[in-house]
Structure 1
Amino acid sequence: MKWAIPALGQIATITGGSTPSRTQAEYWNGSIPWLTPTDLPMPGKGIADVSDTAAKITEEGLAAISAQLLPVGTVLFSSRATIGKLGISRVPLATNQGFANFIPKRFVDAKYLAYCLLRHKTEITALAGSTTFKEVTKTALKKFRVPLPPLSEQRRIVEILDQADALRRKRAEADAKAARILPALFYKIFGDPVTNPKGWPIKRISEVCRVISGATPRTNQPEYWGGGIPWATPRDLSGLDDWVLEQTERTLTGEGLSSCSATMMPKGAVLLSSRAPIGLVAIAGVPMCTNQGFKNLICEGDIDSWYLFAWCKLRKSYLQSLGRGATFTEVSKSIVESIELPLPPIKTQREFRERVNLLRSIHEQRRISLRQIENTFQVLLHRAFTGDLTAKWREAHMKELLKEMEEQTRYLDKTH
């Protein structure tokens, strides 16, 4: 039994969204949920059940954008500015212009369609082309073809994938709880880093660290790039799922390093992003250099890198407040050097380091488990849309499925 492969425009009504004028106060703070991409998890991190939104509009706001409320069960797909975020409306709502919204037609299960869009996210993103501002148009989406089994089989696929996704979510929730252990441990040993209730002596960063900026070789010189020297940018830290950075997206050659003012940081240096964005922090797991988006801290004297790392992590908002600049904010080297922090006895700091290392070993086991769960989910997702996942179930329900497929085929023929 071969599944139909219709275009998305045949199996769903695809609509966009809009934004009421921000200058009209009467359009805002109403009771109508108004979705933006920031309300949804990042692509691949789950399909959200959307029953509430950060912003809401009024009836006047809805009328001003000539929009109708999307019905319950609409599949919400971010089609620009991070393509591929997914949700399903559980209440009537509206969206901004960053969405292509799929209202499923007959013989289409909304969650199946959402999983299908997740499975084909890479191919759909490619429809946006190579322009600077990427957006997948509704016209392109309407032509994109997807497999469509009978409705009963769609629901069986959803049932299996939901079970696997639930396991992913539980693991992610456990990881989120584990991430709170480091702050709790810091507070227990050292006290509040702001109020310093234990009365530790106060030192400036310049008294206990060397502050080293980074640099970037000329990007049009290929002989400077692709060598064996890790070269970190804030982007390497933004996606880091560990506290230690060991690999970087880009690397330099020795010639590239010597061509600019970048300095090799020793293993154990604290890497602190000082712009775009401010406040990301990691420990260098291997010797490396960085671009100019960092003020790197080499601990000297009676300060341990793990204490400094944790202090920076807990004081992120404070560090961000130190940014200066009109076009973009940056924390200068002199400002970093002037930062004051409590300095507990080095023995106490090293006890903290030992406990952090134990946390890291537990965290690594958790990451391995999460990767295995994620790999299993991706395998199931792939098998779901080849027909392999439900092959045995299909054989056991062939008679009913053939009847459904006949009805489905007649309907698709009418909509073609």
Structure 2
Amino acid sequence: MSDLSAYRDYRESSIPWIATIPAHWEDVRARFVARLETGHTPDRDESSYWDGDIPWFSLSDMSRVRESGSRYVSETNEYITKKGLNNASTRLVPSGTVILSRTATIGFTCILKVEAATDQSMVNWVCGDELIPEFLYYVFESMGEEFDRLAEGSTHKSIYMPDVRSIKIPLPPVEEQSKIVKFLNNQLDIISTLLNKFDKIREAAERKKNSIVSGAVTHGLGNSNTTDSGVGWIGQVNSDWDVISTKFVAQLESGHTPDRSKDEYWENTNIPWLTTSDIKKFRGNKKRYLHETENQISELGMENSGAHLLPEGTVFLSRTASVGFSGIMGKPMATSQDFANWVCGDEIIPEYLLYVFRSMEQEFERLMQGSTHQTIYMPDIKSFKTPLPPVEEQREIVEHVETETERLWELIDRVDETIDLLEEKRQALITAAVTGQIDVSEEKGVIQGDD
């Protein structure tokens, strides 16, 4: 990017998140150049308000738009009737309105391509003659840290309306806004193309990794004869192996939470206590062993609850909230009731059982129950079955899986680093452009795409 000092003069900005802007730009409250509208949710108990033909934009739509990577939205998950519109504190806003979420997914933004109403979690900006919607969209995209600063609330954070009304933005002349939008559309499309390429590389590596694990724990290494296992997730299995109930080769244990109202149970804590807060380390199935937990309990608390100390090498499986994540205890520890824990016997080694569980993702999805908090219940866990090769063959399988997947993890890590750099580049480019740090009339080829 070029240094703009060669092109224009700068002045100090009154906008909190911008130090300087080009001298010929204005810094204004957004509501002075865009009409600010809010939304509302019609009464859910009144059926005549719903299933109409008026698009109604809500948080679920914002999440969907963000996942798609689009700047625009033309369809919504729900539609309301004219009666619903007239009996709620919401109004239709026109195509071209810039929507900004102010609760939950704070700071997410998009542009309507149709006339629509919104829920109360959105603030809607109907741009006047001095402001191009796409330019305002990019300004909001650059304001992530500012929105974080404005957000208030301990449980459910929101940006309150007085702060929304006070939002200031940089305002170049309309002709310059148009050039900035054109420049960013071009450059960000190139970045999106690159991101898509790397996402596909990552997905291919993930598929290969999962194939190595599932193939090894069902078929073994090399060519082998197979037979129908009679178990859905296993399918064909090495005909020389047994398929056995997991509880016959590993002792199943659950966990518990000591009474929170008993202060003495939570004093002098020294026992590692595995909870769902530890599971984030095992997302992606790269980490295998857990040596330290975020929480501890006391011996008194453990003695007065259903929790008990499990030995090093116990394989744990999360069965509620973050369902289906697994690992191996690197030291003795207890767990909450959110885990099914397997103490391996002489016929199965922990690392092999871990890879069996990591091949069962689709089976876990099938077994999950519950609408709000999904869970795999203990009767289903007790019915788990596992392919069982001889112990020595299990060790060979584990060694093979670790060797082969390590190469793929190295590729995935490199791809993730590249994706992070591209995302940082994208954010920096937007911020530089909407604050006047790039002369878009001179700047060419900031990012080069692959041929």
Q: 1:133-282 to 2 correspondence within 5 Å?
A: 133-149=156-172, 150-155=176-181, 156-176=183-203, 178-181=205-208, 190=218, 193-194=231-232, 197-198=235-236, 202-214=243-255, 233-237=275-279, 242-245=284-287, 251-252=294-295, 261=302, 263=309, 266=312, 270-275=315-320, 277=321, 279-282=323-326
- Whole-angstrom distance in 2 between the partners of 1:282 and 1:131: 31
- Whole-angstrom distance in 2 between the partners of 1:396 and 1:278: 50
CA contact (8 A) 2:291 2:331 kept: no
Structure showing the higher helix proportion among its residues:
1
For 1:72, the aligned partner's letter is S
DSSP-derived class of the 1:374 partner: helix
- Whole-angstrom distance in 2 between the partners of 1:142 and 1:247: 48
CA contact (8 A) 2:318 2:326 kept: no
CA contact (8 A) 1:43 1:85 kept: no
Tell me the CA shift for residue 100 of structure 1.
1.9
Tell me the CA shift for residue 136 of structure 1.
1.4
1:62-121, Cα deviation, whole Å (9 max, x unpaired) = 333253333233333222123233333233333222222233333434333333323322
Tell me the CA shift for residue 143 of structure 1.
0.6
- Whole-angstrom distance in 2 between the partners of 1:62 and 1:388: 35
DSSP-derived class of the 1:343 partner: strand
- Whole-angstrom distance in 2 between the partners of 1:30 and 1:11: 32
- Whole-angstrom distance in 1 between the partners of 2:65 and 2:144: 8
Aligned residues between the structures: 387
For 2:56, the aligned partner's letter is W
DSSP-derived class of the 1:41 partner: helix
- Structure 1's unaligned 5+ residue stretches are 398-416
CA contact (8 A) 2:49 2:82 kept: yes
Tell me the CA shift for residue 129 of structure 1.
1.6
Tell me the CA shift for residue 170 of structure 1.
4.0
Matched, 1:315 2:363: yes
Choose from 19, 26, 45 the match for 2:48: 26
- Whole-angstrom distance in 2 between the partners of 1:272 and 1:204: 16
Q: 1:45-56 to 2 correspondence within 5 Å?
A: 46-56=69-79
Distance 1:153 1:66, change over 3 A: same
For 2:323, the aligned partner's letter is G
Distance 1:131 1:111, change over 3 A: same
Matched, 1:297 2:342: yes
CA contact (8 A) 2:255 2:338 kept: yes
For 2:356, the aligned partner's letter is L
- Whole-angstrom distance in 2 between the partners of 1:249 and 1:139: 45
DSSP-derived class of the 2:28 partner: coil
Matched, 1:339 2:383: yes
Tell me the CA shift for residue 151 of structure 1.
0.7
1:290-314, Cα deviation, whole Å (9 max, x unpaired) = 5443223344424723442234312
CA contact (8 A) 2:71 2:111 kept: yes
- Whole-angstrom distance in 2 between the partners of 1:286 and 1:119: 43
Structure 1 residue aligned with 2:439: 393
Choose from 389, 404, 410 the match for 1:358: 404
1:114-146, Cα deviation, whole Å (9 max, x unpaired) = 333233223213323234332212331121223
DSSP-derived class of the 1:378 partner: helix
Identity %: 22
Choose from 50, 54, 57 the match for 1:35: 57
CA contact (8 A) 1:281 1:312 kept: no
Structure 1 residue aligned with 2:124: 101
Q: Root-mean-square deviation (CA), in Å?
A: 4.3
- Whole-angstrom distance in 1 between the partners of 2:204 and 2:74: 24
Tell me the CA shift for residue 244 of structure 1.
2.8
- Whole-angstrom distance in 1 between the partners of 2:429 and 2:39: 33
Q: TM-score, normalised on structure 2?
A: 0.68
Distance 1:350 1:117, change over 3 A: farther
Distance 1:258 1:389, change over 3 A: farther
CA contact (8 A) 1:380 1:389 kept: no
CA contact (8 A) 1:278 1:320 kept: no
DSSP-derived class of the 1:102 partner: strand
